[in-house]
Amino acid sequence: MNDGPAIREAVAADAEAIARLIALLDHSVRIDGLRERLQRPQGTTLVTTLGGEVVGLCGLDIVTHIHRDSPVGRITILAVAEGHRGGGVGRMLVEEAERRLHDAGCGLVEITSNRRHSVAHDFYIHLGYEQPSLRFAKRL
């Protein structure tokens, strides 16, 4: 029996646990809307479970750009429950995301992160990520 963390694709039944992880990043979502999005086949949402509990979250997306010869993979969200940080859960999720994006033909992986999450930025740099550009956003 494997007692260590396991990564799998999220299902609608994970919605409440995922909402708690999303809240750690100062976002709030409606549970019913989250359940709906988890049932749609767009992007991929991975979770890490430990002892049956969802303790990590990673959202993936693939984008084609006119100025790139291969698709760009994006890690759109990465969150680990506070009691499980520093134990390799985040690294496992990023490595699985990179593997899946590479297998899908992506030539680059981007991670978006709010400016105020500087500890996460240090983590991404530790994993070999760089900040080659700035991202701008506008609410519509």
Q: Region 43-63: what's the mean pLDDT?
A: 94
Tell me the pLDDT tens digit for each residue of 84-108. Answer: 999 999 999 999 999 999 999 999 9
Name every residue whose Cβ is closer than 8 Å to that of residue 64 and which is 6 or more positions away in sequence. 71, 72
Confidence of residue 133 (pLDDT cuts 50, 70, 90): confident
Q: Is residue 54 part of a domain?
A: yes
CATH number of domain containing 57: 3.40.630.30
Q: Is residue 65 part of a domain?
A: yes
Work out how many domains the chain is built from and give that number: 1
Query: Could you tell me the residue range of the domain that residue 111 belongs to?
Result: 43-126
- Burial label, 108 (beta-carbon count in 10 A; 0-12, 13-18, 19+): middle
> What number of CA atoms fall less than 13 Å from residue 75's CA on the CB side?
27
Helix (H) / strand (E) element for 58: namely strand 53-63
Q: Is residue 52 part of a domain?
A: yes
Q: Is residue 138 part of a domain?
A: no
Q: Is residue 10 part of a domain?
A: no
Q: Is residue 139 part of a domain?
A: no
Report the distance separating Cα 79 and Cα 22, nearest Å: 7
For residue 41, the model assigns a pLDDT of: 64
Q: Is residue 21 part of a domain?
A: no
Report the distance separating Cα 89 and Cα 82, nearest Å: 11
